[in-house]
Amino acid sequence: MNRRGFLAAGLASLGAACGLQQAKPGAEPSRVALSDVKRLGVLRVDPIAGRCRYVADLGTRQVVQPILFARRGERFDAVIENALPQPTTVHFHGLTLSQAQDGAGFDPIPPGERKRVRFEVQNRSGLYWFHPHPHGFTAEQVYAGLAGLLVVTDDDDQALDAALALAPANRLALAIADVRVGNGVIRPYAPGATDCLNGWLGNQALVNGRLDAAWTVAPGWVRVQILNACNARGLLLGFQDRNEAEQKKLLPFHLLGTDGGLLAAPRELDRVFLHGGERVDVALDVSGRRALQAVSLEFDARHHAQGAAAAHRHPARERYAPLAAAAVCQDDSPGGDRPADGSALGLFTLRVEGRASERAPGLPAHLSALPDSSSPSEAPTRRIRLDFDERSGFLIDQTPYSVDEAGFSVNRGAREVWEIKNSPISMPHPMHVHGFGFRVLRRQGTFGAARRFATEPGGRFATDLGVKDTVLAWPNETLWLELDFSLPRAAAFGGPQRYMFHCHNREHEDGMMMRNITVL
Ligand code: C2O
Ligand code: CU
Ligand code: CU
């Protein structure tokens, strides 16, 4: 099919996909093998609400907003086609790819153009995701609906499902975003000055594209891989029994994995905090229950910065039309309807149907072998400061992002310790590194309310365990991370490779809280 044909067919098949206001219980977006994708189209489908969609063209049929599946070692070889009126990219968050395949912000696909992308999935099993990253437009495009999930599986992952005796409906991959809903309609992206400083928040959860989302599962273990796909909202995730909702009692669950796959051993919790871009993999036994509600509990969001109304304007924005709203980062809308960060939010429902045949099996004590971590004492330390500047907003090392900068250079194969210090006059920043997983060594300076999340040695949170690509820095905290810049043999990327390091609060990344990294 030629380009026009593809787009026309894509648009035609999308008519029905736009009426996403009400969730159809049990309806799950189609799963597509990564290796079957021939084209991945980025479409603007609804000029009024500004909702956008990914469309996977499989040669024989098209799937709107697919959940991609891959076995470790499988390949993606597809053309990415940009039908937006703005530049875009498709960045595979968490995967180790060459610069040319990474879809970073300095490498946009202009409107109407296409790019061939080919890579092999080399990462451990886990929940990864793909989203646009064009510098200055990321927040708007992701909020408009462009975020897709990639589930990577391997032997450890399959062994775990077998050990849990998981019913097919009991494994879920969910992207939780928050949207602003008024009069039953999702409002388009229209941040005011305060939103551009602190982040654009919604008042309702949109899970896999649906409001009031619900899934039907069978009794026994349920395994849910969850992405925080919100622009700027942290989620304090917990589960309650719907029939005991009054008591607000939290049901115990087990953390199986984080960003880069399974932990060495499961960890029992009753709540877990994940910020934008972070993922958790959890198991809960729903036997004997009829319905569960996943919620984000209230927490102290710790915003300690004011001002910077003019942050986040850059030349690229003026050249292209916005997807929906006309003015961003200007005045705050009168009426002050900005939802509060840290407020409680209902996320999704699990309905339990069917009769349990027997008791759910015990959880395996061992889940996977983590890549080893060198002795950090030998690794050189790189100091990074997260600052706040009244005029420019949030910055890394006082340096506003520039697409052309080389940024920091690191040597291929090197191990480094990064000491990231967040200013006390600040807010939480979920910091993300492209291309390379890292380990969180320890935290210091965590303020009182967030210290309750520090359940692990070294003052770490449960979401700091395992292999990470995104880590939260609260105001006043210092974090120590260990990074390993070796590229897998199969990657064999020739020459220096440029990646990005940034805050995943999408208003902050568009607002220049980002640096490039060059791997020499
Ligand atoms: Cu999820 Cu630089 O991105
Ligand atoms: Cu990324
Ligand atoms: Cu930030």
Is the C-beta atom of 502 inside 6 A of ligand 1? yes
Is the C-beta atom of 279 inside 6 A of ligand 1? no
Amino acid 209 reads G
Edge-to-edge strands of the sheet including 478-484?
Answer: 393-396, 381-389, 415-422, 478-484, 438-444
Predicted local distance difference test score (pLDDT) of residue 28: 60
Per-residue pLDDT of the chain (520 residues; tens, 9 = 90+): 344 444 434 433 333 233 333 334 345 668 999 999 999 999 988 777 778 999 999 999 999 999 999 999 999 999 999 999 999 999 999 999 999 999 999 999 999 999 999 999 999 999 999 999 999 999 999 999 999 999 999 999 999 999 999 999 999 999 999 999 988 888 888 888 888 888 999 999 999 999 999 999 999 999 999 999 999 999 999 999 998 867 789 999 999 999 999 999 999 999 999 999 999 999 999 999 999 999 999 998 877 665 544 445 555 666 777 776 556 677 666 545 778 889 999 999 999 999 877 789 999 999 999 987 665 667 889 999 999 887 778 999 999 999 899 899 999 889 999 999 999 888 999 999 999 999 999 999 998 788 999 999 999 999 999 999 999 999 999 999 999 998 765 556 778 899 999 999 999 999 899 999 999 8
Kindly report the protein residue whose alpha carbon is nearest to atom 3 of ligand 1.
93
Is the C-beta atom of 90 inside 6 A of ligand 1? no
Q: What is the pTM of this model?
A: 0.93
Predicted local distance difference test score (pLDDT) of residue 152: 98
DSSP collapsed to 3 states, 82-146? ECCCCCECCEEECCCCCHHHHCCCCCCECCCCEEEEEEECCCCCEEEEEECCCCCCHHHHHHCCC
How far is residue 325 from each of residues 188, 198, 355, 430, measured CA to CA in Å?
6, 19, 49, 26
Distance (angstroms) between ligand 1 centre and the Cα of 60 equals: 31
Q: How many CA within 13 A on the CB side of residue 451?
A: 6
Predicted local distance difference test score (pLDDT) of residue 149: 98
Kindly report the protein residue whose alpha carbon is nearest to atom 1 of ligand 1.
93
Q: In angstroms, rounded to a whole number, what is the distance separating the alpha carbons of residues 55 and 62?
A: 6
Distance (angstroms) between ligand 3 centre and the Cα of 164 equals: 37
94 Cα nearest atom in ligand 1 = 1
Distance (angstroms) between ligand 3 centre and the Cα of 513 equals: 7
Is the C-beta atom of 515 inside 6 A of ligand 1? no
Ligand with an atom nearest the CA of residue 427: 3
Predicted local distance difference test score (pLDDT) of residue 489: 59
How far is residue 295 from each of residues 25, 147, 237, 284, measured CA to CA in Å?
18, 21, 6, 14
509 Cα nearest atom in ligand 1 = 2
Ligand with an atom nearest the CA of residue 502: 1
Ligand with an atom nearest the CA of residue 138: 1
129 Cα nearest atom in ligand 1 = 1
Predicted local distance difference test score (pLDDT) of residue 317: 64
Please tell me what DSSP assigns to residue 190. Answer: -
Q: Are 352 and 218 in contact (CB under 8 A)?
A: yes
Is the C-beta atom of 500 inside 6 A of ligand 1? yes
For residue 294, what are the β-bridge partners?
Answer: 239, 348
Distance (angstroms) between ligand 2 centre and the Cα of 432 equals: 6
Is the C-beta atom of 275 inside 6 A of ligand 1? no
Is the C-beta atom of 133 inside 6 A of ligand 1? yes
Predicted local distance difference test score (pLDDT) of residue 263: 98
Q: Are 10 and 66 in contact (CB under 8 A)?
A: no
Longest dimension (CA), the chain: 63
470 Cα nearest atom in ligand 1 = 1
Q: In angstroms, rounded to a whole number, what is the distance separating the alpha carbons of residues 384 and 478?
A: 10
Predicted local distance difference test score (pLDDT) of residue 492: 61
Is the C-beta atom of 93 inside 6 A of ligand 1? yes
